Amino acid sequence: MLKVLKGLLIEEDGISTVEIVVIIAILVGIALLFRKSITAYVTKIISNFIDTAPSVEDIENAAPTPTP
């Protein structure tokens, strides 16, 4: 039983999972700290995209009319 416990402590297979969980926790913490800045940035990008997108009327007027 003692050998099994020592083997589990020495074994490094599970360390990658723990590292991933720690990295995700750090990223979530950073996102929570800067949530106002991130929200403002995403809102700015979306509004720029919406403002520069052509309207439905522009698309309909630019499309060639089909000939019979």
Residue 33, in any domain of the structure = yes
Contact (CB, 8 A) for 31 and 38: yes
Residue 37, in any domain of the structure = yes
Residue 29, in any domain of the structure = yes
Amino acid code (one letter) for 48 = N
Residue 25, in any domain of the structure = yes
Sorting pLDDT into bands at 50, 70 and 90, what band is 17?
Answer: confident
Q: Is 66 helix (H, G, I), strand (E, B) or coil?
A: coil
pLDDT tens sequence across 37-68 = 999 999 999 988 887 777 777 777 776 666 66
Residue 43, in any domain of the structure = yes
Q: How many domains does the chain have?
A: 1
Residue 10, in any domain of the structure = no
Range of the domain at 22: 17-50
What secondary structure, in 3-state letters, does 6-42 show?
HHHHHCCCCHHHHHHHHHHHHHHHHHHHCHHHHHHHH
Residue 66, in any domain of the structure = no
Would the pTM of this model clear 0.75, i.e. be above it? Answer: no
Q: Angle at the Cα of 9 (from 29 to 25), degrees rounded to 5? A: 5
